[in-house]
Amino acid sequence: MTANTRAPQQERSRATQQRLLEATVECLVEFGWSGASTTVIAERAGVSRGAQLHHYPTRAALVLAAVEHLSERRAAEIRAEAAALTGDPEDRVEQVIDMLAAAFTGPLYVAALEVWVAARTDLDLKAALIPLEARVGREMHRLTVDLLGADETRPGVRESVQATLDLLRGLGVANLLSDDSHRREQLLAAWKRQLTTAIREP
């Protein structure tokens, strides 16, 4: 097989994987964990069952790859949105918190929650998910620090950034069952003031 022959095959393989990962996220959001079977996902992706098994031999392998994929998508989208933020330091905290809050109430977060809940009782999935989520969590923390322009060498700044992410995750979960926007706005307004104090005051 020549290099010219392998290249199109690799491109087709990557395209198939991309369709499967996108379809997995869509099915998790639309049908939840119980309804997002590999058969449903393959149908949504428009690929054969054999092709799905070739790339991802188990449901766990497919879902974990999708979690990693959606985490990378979330980070890329946040970075793209951050490029449009104003340079005014006084407005930066408010803009970053609003942007992250939107990310933690969007469909990608909903898909991730479906996997987290399933992992509570699926020990194999849990064992594979924990190290992946630990890495994703570190990357999200670093991204937030960068967006805020925060100096983590100062006392309390690292904890304030992590508290921000924990708060947003919790509010995202609360938003699943009912429209929690009014309470969320009040809490975030108070937290923005506290965070600004924590990362800006000498």
State the CATH number of the domain containing residue 39. Answer: 1.10.10
pLDDT of residue 133: 87
pTM of the model: 0.81
Q: Is residue 62 part of a domain?
A: no
Examine the domain organization and report whether 94 and 119 are in the same domain: yes
pLDDT of residue 160: 95
In angstroms, the CA 159 to CA 65 distance is 30
Examine the domain organization and report whether 84 and 26 are in the same domain: no
Q: Is the pLDDT assigned to residue 1 strictly greater than 60?
A: no
Number of domains the chain contains: 2
Percent of the chain with pLDDT over 70: 93
* Contact between residue 64 and residue 128 where contact means Cβ atoms under 8 Å apart: yes
Q: Is residue 103 part of a domain?
A: yes
Examine the domain organization and report whether 182 and 126 are in the same domain: yes
Examine the domain organization and report whether 93 and 173 are in the same domain: yes
Q: Is residue 191 part of a domain?
A: yes
Q: Is residue 112 part of a domain?
A: yes
In angstroms, the CA 124 to CA 35 distance is 19
